[in-house]
Amino acid sequence: MSTKTKDILNQALGLPPVEKAHLVDCLLASLDKPDQAIDNLWREEVEKRVEAYQSGKILSVSLQQALSKYQR
């Protein structure tokens, strides 16, 4: 960690909890940048799944059925 980063961290640690939380939110938001390539891959995947569902290649299950699989 650079000296500058350490200085910023030390200053941040001295902030009141609400200001720390706000700072964390801002920092996390700055990391969450859209990635067009990933968005395109997800769009293609969704389109494939919708097509498969609509054509009867895959069936749906209720939320309760899906959750019961993991509630053991």
Token pair recorded at residue 65: 């059925």
Q: Given a cut of 90, is residue 69 above it in pLDDT? A: no
Amino acid at 70: Y
Give the tens place of pLDDT for each residue, 21-61: 999 999 999 998 889 999 999 999 999 999 999 999 999 99
SS3 of 58, please?
coil
What pTM was computed for the model?
A: 0.50
Please say whether the dihedral angle defined by the alpha carbons of residues 41, 42, 45 and 51, taken in this order, is positive or negative: negative
Say which residues have a Cβ less than 8 Å from residue 58's Cβ, sequence separation at least 6: 49, 52
DSSP conformation class of 44:
H
